[in-house]
Amino acid sequence: MKLRVTVMPKNGVLDPQGKAIGHALGTLGFAGVGEVRAGKVIELELAETDPEAAKRQAGEMARRLLANMVIESFSVELA
């Protein structure tokens, strides 16, 4: 089954990529842009067919590889 893991910088952690995007949007003429945060999303196709077990497995993958738990948080959802 297909899952989506979203990894975002934790609140309070500096996000230079988000800052750069916000700045670039201003340069392009977009007004009213507040905070911008940039993260990543990983779509996984897993052989596991039980939704809860698949989410647990994807969470384990996030903790071990996809996210740096010191500075990032993640969420898992069915895609």
Q: Least Å distance between CB 33 and a copy of itself? A: 6
- The CA distances from residue 32 to 26, 39, 66, in Å, are 9, 21, 32
User: According to the binding rule CB under 8 A, does residue 44 interact with a copy of itself?
Assistant: yes
Question: Under the criterion CB under 8 A, does residue 48 sit at the interface with a copy of itself?
Answer: yes
Q: Is 47 in the site for a copy of itself (CB under 8 A)?
A: yes
**8 belongs to the binding site for a copy of itself (CB under 8 A):** yes
3-state secondary structure of 52: helix
Residue 49 Cα to chain centre, angstroms: 23
59 binding a copy of itself? (CB under 8 A): no
- Does position 33 bind a copy of itself by CB under 8 A? yes
- CA distance readout (Å), 62 to 3, 23, 57: 12, 30, 9
Applying CB under 8 A, what is the total number of residues that bind a copy of itself? Answer: 32
